[in-house]
Amino acid sequence: MKTDLKEIEQKLHELKPAKLPDDLSAKIENIFENSDHIQNKHTALRKIIWLPKMQKISAVAALLIACVGVFFAILNDQNSSNKTTSSKVSVNKPLKKDQFVPTNAKNVFEGVKDEGLFLSKDKIPYHGVRYQFLDSFLWENEEDGSSIEMKVPSQRLFLVPIKTH
Amino acid sequence: MKKESLAESWKEWFHLNGTRLLLFARGKTKSEADAQDVLQDAILRLWKSYSSPIDGHFDPPPLALTYTAIRNAAIDHARRTNRRTQREQKSDFIVRDRDQVKNWFETSSLEQSEQAQIIKEALQQIPEKFQEVLTLKIWGELTFAEIAENLNIPANTAASRYRYALDALRKILKPNSI
């Protein structure tokens, strides 16, 4: 370090900070003495600081309740699955002999029928077209080769709006 | 520990360190009134944190922590003052003049008083980051490691800033020297 700098450093070391103003000393000492007054404020502050702790406790409680809920939900699921399996066993076993399995389903188009003109409530003309189908379903029993066939006629009416210029 | 003895311990601690703490606060603020406000605020904050000794004996707050408290209080105070000044400037109130800064250093003669005044003015002219390191090192009696921790800078930077501060003071106090 240069001599000049050491000299300045020495000068600074020789200087001592000025004494505190009396009024400031008194004010600060007052802080220490009025402990009761500030202690109350401190307790009030602590109350505010306690808030996160309470939140933590409530969070833990909520977590605990959630855990209990999940536990019971799992327990309930297990019970219901047990029931299902048992019911499957009880229902499926006697049905196995007469079990019919769906093997075929057809949707046969049979024809179109002109239904003429329609006029809606808001006076828009429509052309009615009725499509006719025959839906057939087939079930077979693998055990004895018997089958059930069901034919259901169905029709759908389409209203096609007619453009008028 | 009884309340009376606790208060006495705090007073004793403050009598030992009060002058250097006020000097640091003066360096961080722009007026004597602000410095005193900041010091009170910082002491109050520390007192709140340290006022309940658990094991029955008083542990004084570490000086480094006290300087940090003053620094934070000064920042808060500056923010408040800025807001207040802006508010006052917007309204028709007159912003009060900065009060006269008292002597920062103890003096016993007129010559010393003049020299102290020159050094105080020189300290106010150098950048704040240099000034705070210098104040903490010389009057705050902290090591470079403690200063570094306090200001959240590397110890080498603290040492460099100290040298720069001395150099800046030299340029102001001895402008003709090389």
Domains of chain A, by residue range, sit at 22-96, 98-161
Lowest mean pLDDT among A10-14, A38-42, B154-158, B162-166: A38-42
A42 neighbourhood in chain B, CB within 8 Å: 48, 51-52
d(CA A78, CA A74): 6
d(CA B178, CA A2): 10
pLDDT tens digits for range A33-70: 775 555 555 554 554 555 566 777 888 888 888 888 88
At B134 the pLDDT is: 92
Residues 8-67 of A with CB under 8 A from B: 8-9, 11-13, 15-21, 24-25, 27-29, 31-33, 35-36, 38-39, 41-42, 45
d(CA B131, CA B129): 6
Residues 94-123 of A with CB under 8 A from B: none
Q: How crowded is the C-beta side of B12, counted as CA atoms within 13 Å?
A: 9
Residue A16: phi and psi, rounded to 5, are -110, 140
Query: Structure tokens of A40?
Result: 């109350």
pLDDT tens digits for range B10-29: 888 888 899 999 999 988 88
CB pair distance less than 8 Å for A4 and B177: yes
Give the ipTM of the model, two decimals please: 0.76
* DSSP H or E stretch at residue A105: strand A100-119
Topology of domain B108-173, CATH: Arc Repressor Mutant, subunit A (1.10.10)
